[in-house]
Amino acid sequence: MRQLPEYFCDVFIVGSGAAGLSLALRLASHCQVLLVSQGPISQGATYYAQGGIATVFDETDTLEAHCQDTVTAGAGLCDPLVVPFVVHNARHCINWLIAQGMRFDQDREAASQGFHLTREGGHSHRRILHVADTTGQHLSETLITQARQHRSLRLLESCSVVDLLTTQPLDLIQSPRIIGAMIWQPSQQKLTRVSAKVVVLATGGASSLYWHNTNADRAAGEGIALAWRAGCRVANLEFNQFHPTTLYHPQAPNLLLTEALRGEGAVLCRPDGSRFMPAVDARAELAPRDIVARAMQQEMERLSVPCLYLDIRHQPAALILQHFPALYRQLRTLDLDLTQQPIPVVPAAHYTCGGVVVDQHGRSDVTGLYAIGEVSYTGLHGANRLASNALLECLVYAWSAAEAILQQLPQLTWTKPVPLETGVVIAASTHTSAILTQEQQLRTVMWQQVGLVRTTTGLTQALAQIDALQTALDQEYQHPPFPEQVLALRNKLQVAQLIVRCALERRESRGGHYLQDYPEPLPQSTPTILSPQIFSEN
């Protein structure tokens, strides 16, 4: 064991998406901030968001309608206090974003204060602010540009957090307090300690645990696993949202076809060109994502076909090219033409609706530890996320967390580091066949047993298989040095176990959780909450 090199900061932020960068910018004028990203700073999930940000700007729309659409999509599990909190704070957070340099598409003739608004599934009005079909890219670039100009904001790219560091409570009444984290910097082959008064997890969700998903491999639940090991509760992890329209093509398995396509009139078709969604739901293709995705899977199984088709050919080519230029170009590289032919699509894992339990300021169960964005469970999304509420949640909770942190910081001091650090030793990146095989097995289990349609038997088998993978990993790597992929797989297995445990707790079908044994929703339902203290006692 040896003493490690060390960073000191007031606030340590893990994650460089909309939530992490927005928070960092709000704090950087007041304190020392260190932000780390797992990969290049521009390659978080936010960068690839095609859709936009849901906010009431149209004169015919209301805040109450946005709240009701959110609650309806959430299938009765949204927190009744959190939904209006987010919706009513949307406007000033959007104005802050515009002040940072964000420019949304305009429509001078619309009754929406000059913004062009589109519509997506589950929304009763046009209320999606966007920049064509590359909103996330423009949002990321705007925030990154601002972040690089702050002297009090340090950015470290391509770093992994090995574990969070907390104090040990003196008794059962006290809660632990966060004092920092250990990070691994592969480029320097260096393990480093970060000492911080406050730590914020903004690491995104866990959709890459599934074979078919819309996210980068980094979206594997790192923050959820870190918070759980630090003593935080998690909630509603059984609700993983599946996006209905991901391109079915071997050269672009993660290419999402934005829901705004359906908002502008695209329809879902069978291979013979006939529609099926009008017979499933009165809202047809604009029904919430869980309804559309399950209907697609059932139709593919009924017809024994590998995919269905998204067709927007009936709309003017000029409209398609104006609103979806990036997607059009990407498809053309694959010899597909959005203006001339139906595009093959399949559902894929997209968004984690649950996560680390937090309050309205993003505070977790561990003093000084916050979680914002997709890593957190705020109560906004319930059993199924309303389209384009994700970036809105990031912006609102970045603001509310900043307010709480700035109020808390004057009372906090750095905790003196212990003279010796943990004995964890990490080896250079090495893709061993055993690790790759275990990751593939995990993703197969999650897709087949914990996907769009589940059974109690399948979930029980999935948990046993995940536990077996964990046991095999522990036996193979009992002593350091550990390849960094082992640390990543440890997080993935941890989160997969939590997802399955949450799914086994919910004996009903609701939103993104469909259980064949219990196909109907219960008359009354509550969030599924897991506590690490309870599991450690068992």
- pLDDT confidence of 217, banded at 50, 70, 90? confident
> Does 241 or 423 have the greater pLDDT score?
241
Give the pLDDT confidence score for residue 427 in this predicted structure. 62
Question: Rounded to an integer, what is the distance from CA 356 to the centroid of its chain?
Answer: 12
- pLDDT over 60 (residue 536): no
- pLDDT confidence of 485, banded at 50, 70, 90? confident
Residue 347 Ramachandran class (φ > 0 left, ψ -120 to 50 alpha, else beta): beta
Rg (CA), the chain: 23
Share of the chain above pLDDT 90, in %: 74
Give the pLDDT confidence score for residue 420 in this predicted structure. 40
Site of tokens 């909770």: 397
Catalytic positions are 289
> Does 446 or 424 have the greater pLDDT score?
446
- pLDDT confidence of 72, banded at 50, 70, 90? very high
What are the DSSP E strand ranges found in 248-359?
A: 267-269, 308-311, 343-352, 355-357
| pLDDT tens per residue, range 296-328 | 999 999 999 999 999 999 999 999 999 999 999
Q: How many helices (H) and strands (E) does the chain have?
A: 15, 20
Average pLDDT over residues 69-74: 95
CB 343 within 8 A of CB 222: no
Answer whether 0.95 is exceeded by the pTM. no
Domains annotated for the chain, with CATH where assigned, are: 6-239+353-411 (3.50.50.60), 250-349 (3.90.700.10), 429-537 (1.20.58.100)
- pLDDT confidence of 172, banded at 50, 70, 90? low
CB 154 within 8 A of CB 41: no
Q: Is the dihedral of CA 37, 41, 47, 48 positive or negative?
A: negative
Task: Tell me which long-range contacts 464-472 makes (C-beta under 8 A, separation of at least 24).
Answer: 465/441, 466/442, 466/493, 466/496, 466/497, 466/500, 467/497, 469/438, 469/441, 469/442, 469/493, 470/497, 472/438
CB 199 within 8 A of CB 409: no
Give the pLDDT confidence score for residue 408 in this predicted structure. 93
- pLDDT confidence of 474, banded at 50, 70, 90? confident
- pLDDT confidence of 401, banded at 50, 70, 90? very high
CB 205 within 8 A of CB 45: yes
Q: Which of 235, 234, 233, 254 is nearest to 245 (CA)?
A: 254
Q: Which of 515, 400, 511 is nearest to 450 (CA)?
A: 515
Q: Rounded distance, CA 120 to CA 389, Å?
A: 11
Give the pLDDT confidence score for residue 110 in this predicted structure. 63
Q: Rounded distance, CA 284 to CA 121, Å?
A: 9
- pLDDT confidence of 1, banded at 50, 70, 90? very low
| Range ranked top by mean pLDDT from 107-121, 208-222, 337-351, 523-537 | 337-351
Average pLDDT over residues 508-514: 95
Q: Which of 297, 338, 345, 285 is nearest to 315 (CA)?
A: 338
- pLDDT over 80 (residue 53): yes
- pLDDT confidence of 201, banded at 50, 70, 90? very high
CB 344 within 8 A of CB 334: no
- pLDDT over 70 (residue 169): no
Give the pLDDT confidence score for residue 533 in this predicted structure. 78
Angle made by CA atoms 92, 98, 101, in degrees to the nearest 5:
150
3-state secondary structure of 364: coil
Average pLDDT over residues 125-129: 94
Q: Rounded distance, CA 490 to CA 492, Å?
A: 6
- pLDDT over 70 (residue 18): yes
Residues 6+ apart with CB under 8 A from 508: 515, 518, 520, 521, 522, 525
Give the pLDDT confidence score for residue 487 in this predicted structure. 84
DSSP-assigned beta bridge partners for residue 35: 13, 155
Q: Rounded distance, CA 499 to CA 237, Å?
A: 5
CA distances from 137 to 41, 131, 264 (A): 12, 9, 21
Give the pLDDT confidence score for residue 190 in this predicted structure. 82
| pLDDT tens per residue, range 362-384 | 999 999 999 999 999 999 999 99
Maximal CA-CA distance, the chain: 70
Mean pLDDT of the chain: 91
